[in-house]
Structure 1
C-alpha cells in the first residue's frame, strides 16, 4: 500500500507524518550546519594533527584556553557586605 493511500484512509496519521518529517529535516539541516563549522574536522588526511593549529585566542565550544578572569565589581561589593 502506498503511503499516500494510507494517509487518505487514515487521516489521523497526517499530523504524525508531518511532525516526523519536520523533525528529520531539522536534524539533517543541523547536522549539515554543524559539519560546516571550522572547529569540526572530517578530513584527517589533509590535517592529521588538528590540535596543533588551534588558535588559543579564539574561544572554543567546550573550553577556553588562556582565559583572563576579571573580578566583577558588583559581586565583590556584595561579598564584602555579606562578610
Structure 2
C-alpha cells in the first residue's frame, strides 16, 4: 500500500508509473506471442528437427512484405535421398 501512498503524495510519478506499466505489459505480451510461433524451439528433446513441420505458406514474421516461397531443388533432392 505504500506504493499508492507515494503516488498520491508525489503526483508527478503517476505518468511514469503508467508508462512503465504499459511498457512492461507490452514486452511480456510480445514475448508470449513470440514463444507461441512455430519457428521458436522450446522443446528440443521431443522434436529435434522442428523446421520439418513449419508450413512454408504461413508467414513466420511479425510483418511480412512480399514473401514468396519457392522450393530449392537441391534441398528437395537431398531430403528425398535421406528418407
Range into which the TM-score falls when normalised by the shorter chain: 0.5 to 0.7
- The TM-score normalised by the length of structure 1 is 0.62
Once superposed, what is the RMSD of the aligned Cα atoms? 2.8
Task: Report the equivalent of 1:37.
Answer: 37
What is the 5 A alignment of 1:11-30? 11-30=11-30
* Structure 1 residue aligned with 2:65: none
Q: Distance in 1 between matches of 2:70 and 2:11?
A: 58
CA-to-aligned-CA distance 1:22-48 (integer Å, 9 cap, x gap)? 000000000001111111110111112
Distance 1:18 1:8 in 2: 14
Could you tell me which runs of 5 or more consecutive residues in structure 1 were left unpaired when the two chains were aligned.
Answer: 69-83
Q: Which has the higher contact order (CA 8 A, sep 6+)?
A: 2
Partner of 1:6: 6
Deviation, 1:66, is: 4.7
Describe the SS at the equivalent of 1:19: helix
Q: Which segments of 5 or more consecutive residues in structure 2 lack a partner in the other structure?
A: 62-67, 73-83
